[in-house]
């Protein structure tokens, strides 16, 4: 046994040979245990095995105990605290997402405001984004609409008429120059090419644009510094300006849509400025701005603003869509503005009096009447607009007679370019009905009181345009809209091309060739002779509508 134990010892230990004295500076290993020493009464191999296994068992048990102890302790909570424990993991997940403490997450995450760069540009243009921080500059453009491009600037904005540019100093990092033609017929290349282009130039120290080596902006000196919070709206009066329809549909109504939210605290900067335009529509502009109009091309001074909109919003043809307006305003509000501008009132009385009350549904010349009162009151007034060059009413005297027979008092108006708008407004604001052949003059229905009648005479080939440009807008304003559609034999085109020709019988063939071809044939070369009998039926329908609208029974219902 002793020999066996000694054999086993040398098998596991195998001591090293002795180290020579010359290398005594080397630390020596302790000498091996004597072979006759035995631990726990067993052999050397068993003792070594036990020494290694026991610590591992202890470590394993401690680990198991620790793992089991942690979840058990977390589950030992009071009943009142259990609900909090259940909701805690969800809060921690949300806190991780928003980097907010769990106990503040539910409140602060809802109050968090996105940076201006993350907002859509339309929110800034419509005033839905708020003022933001004074130090935050914004440069963005909304080019999503097929009718117009609109850009928005906030910060240190300065005009540079010499280069038809607008400069934005300290622009947001990464901003690029933008080019805009501020007119609302973006889809029509031929007319847009005639509109002056505005270049918006971002100026910042990062890219070196307009700055010196020290990073200080070499800014153009302000000749006119407009008050903070008074923005500029930049637009063009070029294009089709000169045609009353386009002056309203492409200009004044989009200007109202864009600028009315500023309640007069806005400056209009106009490209292709016309003095006659200001003289004609000054009464309307005064309702939208408290400041003088700036002529962008010829005013060589540098104007400085804190905010600017370049371009105009547009909703459609002669329409203001309340659903697209931040404050829900509609075409009735634009009409009220026209009424305030063109009504003849002393300026002192106007300033002292409260805002104009919306126009009554029934014209004031038609009070609540009983059936036996109609014979004693004045006949309802109908205004007939006539044309001189095309789409002329060839039998005008017969139309005037038909109006009298239907119970109207006819008033014929031959509009000229120099006819003052207040005179037209006065004639129509007091009228009960209006008769006109399709054309720009029909735009003046905007002066008529809701509840009155618009009777449009529609020449051959103009059905769609008559309804889209005037019929639907008149109905949205609250007018009773009637159409007299000219028959093929009533058109002068029948004599020129033949009553059974494609031009007369199937206008879609010509219209398919484009707007200009349609205009050349159906708008520029056509006159009409109205069938008096058929026209009289519409006049009687209009008279009946006015009678019902002013009867005591209807008034009581309202």
Instruction: Let me know the angle formed at the C-alpha of 285 by 145 and 438, rounded to the nearest 5 degrees.
Output: 65
Q: Which residue has the higher pLDDT, 306 or 130?
A: 306
**Confidence label for 416 from pLDDT (cuts 50, 70 and 90):** confident
In 3D space, the residue among 252, 261, 228 whose CA is nearest the CA of residue 123 turns out to be 261
> What element of type H or E holds 536?
helix 532-549
pLDDT at 320 over 50: yes
pLDDT digits (tens, 9 = 90+) for 256-292: 999 999 999 999 999 999 999 999 999 999 999 999 9
Rounded to whole angstroms, the Cα distance separating 371 from 350 reads: 38
* pLDDT average, residue stretch 323-351: 80
In 3D space, the residue among 4, 73, 16, 80 whose CA is nearest the CA of residue 45 turns out to be 4
Per-residue H/E/C for 63-87: HHHHHHHHHHHHHCCCHHHHHHHHH
Query: What's the confidence (pLDDT) of residue 333?
Result: 96
Query: What's the confidence (pLDDT) of residue 326?
Result: 85
> What element of type H or E holds 360?
none
Largest CA distance in the chain: 151
pLDDT digits (tens, 9 = 90+) for 497-535: 999 999 999 999 999 999 889 999 999 999 999 999 999
Query: What's the confidence (pLDDT) of residue 551?
Result: 54
Rounded to whole angstroms, the Cα distance separating 237 from 274 reads: 7
pLDDT digits (tens, 9 = 90+) for 63-80: 665 544 444 433 333 333
Within a 13 Å sphere around the CA of 550, how many CA atoms are in the beta-carbon half?
Answer: 25
pLDDT digits (tens, 9 = 90+) for 458-505: 999 999 999 999 999 999 999 999 999 999 999 999 999 999 999 999
- In the chain, % of residues over pLDDT 70: 68
The set of residues, in sequence order, having a beta carbon less than 8 Å from that of 484 and lying 6+ positions away, is 455, 456, 457, 458, 530, 534, 535, 538
Rounded to whole angstroms, the Cα distance separating 379 from 406 reads: 10
pLDDT digits (tens, 9 = 90+) for 353-397: 444 444 443 444 455 555 555 555 679 999 999 999 999 999 999
Distance linking the first and last C-alpha atoms of the chain: 126
Rounded to whole angstroms, the Cα distance separating 452 from 435 reads: 12
User: What is the gyration radius of the CA atoms in the chain, in angstroms?
Assistant: 43
Per-residue H/E/C for 80-125: HHHHHHHHHHHHHHHHHHHCCCHHHHHHHHHHCCCCHHHCCHHHHH
Query: What's the confidence (pLDDT) of residue 549?
Result: 78
């Amino acid at each position: 046994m002793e020999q066996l134990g000694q054999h086993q010892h040398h098998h596991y230990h195998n001591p090293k040979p002795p180290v020579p004295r010359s290398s005594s500076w080397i630390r020596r290993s302790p000498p091996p245990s004597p072979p006759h020493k035995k631990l726990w009464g067993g052999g050397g191999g068993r003792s070594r095995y036990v020494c290694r296994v026991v610590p591992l068992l202890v470590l394993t048990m401690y680990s198991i105990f620790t793992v089991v102890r942690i979840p058990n302790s977390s589950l030992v909570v009071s009943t009142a605290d259990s609900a909090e424990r259940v909701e805690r993991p969800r809060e921690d997940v949300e806190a991780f997402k928003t980097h907010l403490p769990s106990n503040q997450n539910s409140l602060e995450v809802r109050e968090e405001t996105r940076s201006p760069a993350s907002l859509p540009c339309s929110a800034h243009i419509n005033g839905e984004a708020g003022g933001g921080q004074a130090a935050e500059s914004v440069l963005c453009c909304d080019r999503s609409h097929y009718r117009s491009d609109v850009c928005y600037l906030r910060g240190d904005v300065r005009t540079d008429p010499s280069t038809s540019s607008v400069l934005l100093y300290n622009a947001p990092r990464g901003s690029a120059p933008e080019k805009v033609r501020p007119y609302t017929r973006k889809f029509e290349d031929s007319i847009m090419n005639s509109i002056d282009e505005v270049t918006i130039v971002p100026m910042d120290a990062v890219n070196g644009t307009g700055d010196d080596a020290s990073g200080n902006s070499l800014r153009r000196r302000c000749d006119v510094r407009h008050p903070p919070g008074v923005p500029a709206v930049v637009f063009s009066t070029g294009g089709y300006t000169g045609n009353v329809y386009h002056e309203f549909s492409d200009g004044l109504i989009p200007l109202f849509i864009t600028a009315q939210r500023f309640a007069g605290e806005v400056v209009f900067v106009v490209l292709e400025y016309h003095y006659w335009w200001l003289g004609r529509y000054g009464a309307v502009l005064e309702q939208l701005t408290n400041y003088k109009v700036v002529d962008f091309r010829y005013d060589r001074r540098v104007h400085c603003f804190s905010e600017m909109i370049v371009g105009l919003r547009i909703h459609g043809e002669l329409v203001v869509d309340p659903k697209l307006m931040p404050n829900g305003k509609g075409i009735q509000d634009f009409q009220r503005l026209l009424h305030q501008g063109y009504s003849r009132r002393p300026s002192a009385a106007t300033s002292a009096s409260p805002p104009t009350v919306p126009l009554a549904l029934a014209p004031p010349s038609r009070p609540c009447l009983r059936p036996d009162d109609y014979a004693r009151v004045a006949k309802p007034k109908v205004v007939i607009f006539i044309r001189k060059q095309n789409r002329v009413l060839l039998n005008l005297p017969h139309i005037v007679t038909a109006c009298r027979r239907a119970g109207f008092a006819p008033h014929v108006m031959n509009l000229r370019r120099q006819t003052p708008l207040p005179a037209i407004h006065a004639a129509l604001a007091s009228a009960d009905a209006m008769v006109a052949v399709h054309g720009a003059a029909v735009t003046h229905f905007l002066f008529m009181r809701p509840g009155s009648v618009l009777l449009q005479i529609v020449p051959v080939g103009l059905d769609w345009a008559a309804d889209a440009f005037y019929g639907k807008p008149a109905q949205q304003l609250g007018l009773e809209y009637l159409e007299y559609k000219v028959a093929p034999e009533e058109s002068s085109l029948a004599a020129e091309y033949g009553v059974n020709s494609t031009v007369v019988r199937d206008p879609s063939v010509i219209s398919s060739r484009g707007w200009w071809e349609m205009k050349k044939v159906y708008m520029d070369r056509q006159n009409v002779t109205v069938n008096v009998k058929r026209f009289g039926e519409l006049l009687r329908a209009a008279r009946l509508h006015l009678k019902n609208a002013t009867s005591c029974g209807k008034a009581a219902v309202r």
